[in-house]
Structure 1
Amino acid sequence: MGTWDTGPFDNDSAADWCGALHDADPALRPELVRHALTVTAETTGYLDDHEACAAVAAAAIVASTLPGGTPITSHYAPAFLTEGGTIAFSEDFAPLAVRALTRVVGENSEWFDLWTEDGADSPDEAFAAIADLRKVLLPATVDKDQQALPL
């Protein structure tokens, strides 16, 4: 993993995925985000770091659109977002993002393995970044009748 910091966009895989999202037809962007989240959430075998990093970036983008979400400012995020653009997401994106993040920090995840191996720089900060995203996304997994949406 070519990583230079602990944020959701601070690695080669996320930056590459963000570049592809930026270059995509705006009408297709929500489905590209959904795809990144779904691939990770539904992986049953060993989760490759590239998919995990794309899902973390996608989850950060979804979280940025929710109350309490952090605006996208990273130079490695899709430029259209840092320039004031947006993506509209349906309400099923937040639960999907939570499922993907849960998979990223779970067993059989290269992302998890790389951050927990001896010598990894700032693993606590990397896990805190995921926890911060989950804090924003989790309230959006409750519907208007206060019943939890399926995760």
Structure 2
Amino acid sequence: MITAMGTWDVGHFDNDTAADFSGKLDDAAEAEREAIIRTALTSTIESDEFLDSYEACQAVASAALIAAQLPGGTPITTAYGPDELLPPLPEDLRALAAQALDRVLGKGSELAELWDESESGPQWRQSIADLKAVLLA
């Protein structure tokens, strides 16, 4: 585990940042939740400097929420995911989420570097690849 970044397992919501992001979604009006997810994805994609793990964790959580609504997606059942239901998310978020995951896995990503320094790195990378496969299916 990577406790230095507030992470307790490799799940998409198994870190402090993703849990806080879920709380932010729960606190927002239903009509605002899509915009919060879209912003998390686009800020990750558009980051041309070093990608902070905080942004990356929000992008991964967003991608997991989108994938959960798709055939083959894994429902979000963890206590650290949002409690409030999300409205059906638009189709265009799938491609944004896949792009954001590429950025999260790429060079200049603090989150990828932290995971690569741990023995759970390969498992985490596989979980991101599995998530991306659902988004692109």
TM-score range, shorter chain: over 0.9
- 1:26 corresponds to which of 5, 27, 30: 30
1:122 Cα deviation from its structure 2 partner: 1.0
Whether contact under 8 Å (2:116, 2:122) holds in the other structure is no
> What is the aligned partner in structure 2 of residue 91 from structure 1?
91
**Superposition TM-score, scaled by structure 2 size:** 0.94
> What is the aligned partner in structure 2 of residue 136 from structure 1?
134
Identity of paired residues, percent?
A: 51
Runs of 5+ unmatched residues, structure 2: none
> What is the aligned partner in structure 2 of residue 76 from structure 1?
80
Q: How does 1:38-117 map to 2 (within 5 A)?
A: 38-80=42-84, 85-117=85-117
Q: Secondary structure at the match of 1:79?
A: coil
Q: RMSD across aligned C-alpha pairs, in angstroms?
A: 0.8
- 2:6 corresponds to which of 2, 7, 14: 2
Aligned residues: 133
1:90 Cα deviation from its structure 2 partner: 1.3
Runs of 5+ unmatched residues, structure 1: 140-151
Q: Output the CA distance in 2 between the equivalents of 1:92 and 1:14.
A: 22
Q: Output the CA distance in 1 between the equivalents of 2:50 and 2:86.
A: 32
* Structure with max Cα Rg: 1
Superposed CA offset, 1:45-93 (max 9, x none): 100000000000000000001111001101100112xxxx232111110
Q: Does 1:124 align with 2:128?
A: no
Structure 1 runs, 4 residues or longer, greater than 3 Å off: none
1:130 Cα deviation from its structure 2 partner: 0.3
- Normalized per residue, which structure has more helix? 2
**Superposition TM-score, scaled by structure 1 size:** 0.86
Using a 3 Å threshold, how does the CA distance of structure 1 residues 124 and 35 change in structure 2: closer, same or farther?
A: same
